[in-house]
Amino acid sequence: MAGGKIQKKRHQSMKGIGGGGIPFEKSMGQHILKNPSMVDSIVQKSGIKPTDVVLEIGPGTGNLTKKLLECAKSVVAVEVDPRMVLELNRRFQGTPYASRLKVIEGDVLKCDLPYFDICVANIPYKISSLLTFKLLSHRPVFRCAVIMYQQEFAMRLVANPGDSLYCRLSVNTQLLARVSHLLKVSRNNFRPPPKVDSSVVRIEPRQPLPRVSFKEWDGLVRICFIKKNKTLGALFKQKGVLTLLEKNYKTLQSLRLSGNPEGIAEGNEITSEDINVLANLMDDISMADNERENGDEDEEMDTELSSNMLEGSSFKDKVMSVLQEGDFLDKRASKLSQVEFLYLLSLFNKAGIHFS
């Protein structure tokens, strides 16, 4: 046993497990969950059945993988780092688990995922949004996913209307799935420890999905969350918003589109294009702070400016009449549920106003 300073030096150079000496790459989001009780808790809350095929993303050195193999029929582990793939295969080689573990080496965002019943994963935080929506687009639909996220991202996923963190990420995810927070995980449970704490979230895909055009949906939600605490009446009076919607309106009118004019999807499948649309949420992160700084003064100024510039506009009147019909003029995006957003979208599409 070494003294304090020597011990600290050893931990800096031996970042692997069990003396393996594998240096973890922070740039790849490699933070290995080292606390056995936390691993047990995650597996227990996953509700794995003996007949389940489990997908694990970023297994690392296999701490969580071992516990999954003890519960499931089989585990498919996707790992991008060839060093971790080698370590994982070595760890289970010659054990009863070897025949029930399949390791796929590659980027999970580029891989075609196989069939699975449950996804359990401690993922690199930088792929959180894209991976979440990729999983939600997977077919056949899985039962649930239990995923470790950066805590703030997790809280945005599960936020409800009226919560300070409620944003486009919340709305888009909850359109496609039921989400619930399971437990918080301190950064001290990882090696090396990340800069922030984490949370584990359970995601259950909705079946069937709402029959809605996801491009239309995201177009509406993007506008509503430009400043989520403004009234919709003020937001939709802004020149930029009205110009975009009027352009779409005139284009569709001139083309006399037929077949799917109301923005209703022909099916309830999500495409890779939908994934990119719904997962493009980077502008949400600082939105709450910006709104607190700008507040009502900015709202009044924008409303007055746009009203003066577009006074007498018949298209503006058309937009305002849609909001008035659904009693949305004085409502704010920060307090609207998925059902209310869907209703608002249907009113706009019924009036021939589209967002994509």
- Distance (Å, rounded) from C-alpha 149 to C-alpha 157? 10
Burial of 281 (0-12, 13-18, 19+ CB in 10 A): buried
The answer to whether 353 and 319 have CB atoms below 8 angstroms apart is yes
How does DSSP classify residue 70?
H
33 is in an annotated binding site: yes
Residue 166 neighbours by CB distance under 10 Å: 24
58 is in an annotated binding site: yes
122 is in an annotated binding site: yes
**3-state class (DSSP) for residue 54:** strand
Pseudo-torsion of CA 295, 296, 301, 302, nearest 10°?
Answer: 70
Which residues neighbour 39 within 8 Å (Cβ) at sequence distance 6 or greater?
A: 33, 63, 64, 67
Detail the DSSP E strand segments found in 198-321.
Answer: 198-205
Nearest to 200 by CA among 217, 214, 221, 179: 179
Which residues neighbour 64 within 8 Å (Cβ) at sequence distance 6 or greater?
A: 33, 39, 42, 43, 56, 120, 122
263 is in an annotated binding site: no
Q: Which of 84-116 are b and which e, b meaning 16 or more Cβ less than 10 Å from the residue's Cβ?
A: bbebbeebbeeeebeebbebbbeebeeeebeeb
- Distance (Å, rounded) from C-alpha 344 to C-alpha 338? 10
**101-105 and 190-191 beta bridge pairing:** unpaired
140 prior amide bond cis, ω within 30: yes
Nearest to 168 by CA among 91, 227, 87, 246: 227
Six token digits for residue 169 = 């990420």
Known binding positions: 31, 33, 58, 79, 107, 122
Known binding positions for S-adenosyl-L-methionine: 31, 33, 58, 79, 107, 122
